[in-house]
Copies of this chain bind each other. A is one copy, B any other.
Amino acid sequence: MSYPKINFTPGPSQLYFTVEDHMKQAFRDGIPSLSHRSKKFEKIFADAVNGLRELLNVPSSYHIYFTGSATEIWERAIENLVEESSFHLVNGSFSKRFFEISAQLGKKATKHEVSAGEGFSNSLDVPSTAELIAVTHNETSSGVSLPLDFIYDFKKKHPKALLVVDAVSSLPYPDFDYSKLDSVFFSVQKGFGLPAGLGVWMVNDKCLAKAEQLLAKGRSIGSYHNLPSLHAHSLKNQTPETPNVLGIYLLGSVVSDMLRHSAHKIRKETEYKSFLLYNTLNKHPHLKPFVKDERFQSRTVIVVESGERTEKITTSLIEKGMQPGDGYGAAKKHQLRFANFPTHAKEHFELLVDSLESM
């Protein structure tokens, strides 16, 4: 079976280039059948958490937990952090799904929605009753990324609400100031280049306190994966359930590789590669960035308006060993998406832009 050598789909994306070697080492060390109540697992858990803390510059006032997926975190965040009402900035399919999950769980979910490809104005109204403000840092469906200052501004204007940031397809790129947010989460199959099946949920003490408060009021906050349970187990470097041990091991291993390379270099390279592609698009006779406003153009998921040439470009790139991502949902026929994650080398992007320039 053959498949392209470079996979630009925005998730699951191309594996980080060290994953296969780490998997071999895992089998040599018995990790796939390791007990999650063993000392050896506790070290794997601690290595992953401490590595993430260092790579992403997460302060000690934040806690880091593991779930099955980022989709699960949408649900757990609503269950644990919202008694009555949540407010959502919606500008694409994923931010919309977070909003829908809140409604499904019986909360009063309200939203401010703009069209796909657009950002938000600073002056939008947030209901004063909102206990949680949900912000999607990077909309994987449309390639819109929100500027960090815009996100921090929400916390300043609405200090009582918990500000929860979906960073699924942006981390490890953004250099968040976590003191200006209350919770950040992601899944490992995008920027971290790992096999799917693991979500990472980071919360501050205010989130823990809110969950405890809902519990004290007799509200259901879920069982094994509620915040107090995740927290109590994390203090022992353990998880409430038998987790994806191999996934946690691989995450810790890749984070350690990324630290050797350095977070700073990853950020600079991400910016350079995205510059290459946007620059090519801006000069291209037939292609253009789907996101018009430069302030909102994502560095990590670049969406291209490719119109009726979409199919031809896809075929041509695949012939050259590059797999572009389809446009999301209904945009499949006229857009292409390109992930720009740490595993995508500068050489990959140089080859990509050379190829696009001649199309």
Chain A residues proximal to chain B, CB less than 8 Å: 1, 3, 7, 9, 11-15, 19-20, 23, 27-30, 32-36, 67-72, 74-75, 100-101, 104-106, 187, 189, 193-198, 218, 220, 222-226, 240-247
Contact = CB atoms under 8 A, between A and B. Distances in A.
B196 A244 contact: yes
Contacts of A193: 33
Contacts of A75: 222-225
B68 A11 contact: no
B241 A71 contact: yes
Contact of A12 (B14, B28, B35, B195): B35
11 contacts: A15-B32, A15-B33, A23-B27, A68-B68, A68-B197, A72-B224, A74-B223, A106-B218, A195-B245, A197-B243, A197-B246
Contacts of A29: 1, 3
A345 to B, nearest CB: 16
Contacts of A198: 197
When A and B form their complex, which 3 residue pairs have the shortest distance between CB atoms, in order from nearest?
A: A197-B244, A68-B68, A71-B241
Given A68-B72, A195-B245, A33 B20 contact: no
A196 B223 CA distance: 20
B246 A71 contact: no
Contact of A242 (B7, B14, B196, B226): B196
A34 B20 contact: no
Among A35, A67, A226, the most chain B Cβ lie within 10 Å of the Cβ of A35
A5 to B, nearest CB: 10
Nearest to A219: B106
Contacts of A241: 68-72
Contacts of A106: 218, 220
A23 B26 CA distance: 11
A282 to B, nearest CB: 29
Contacts of A30: 1, 3, 7
A88 to B, nearest CB: 14
A239 B196 CA distance: 13
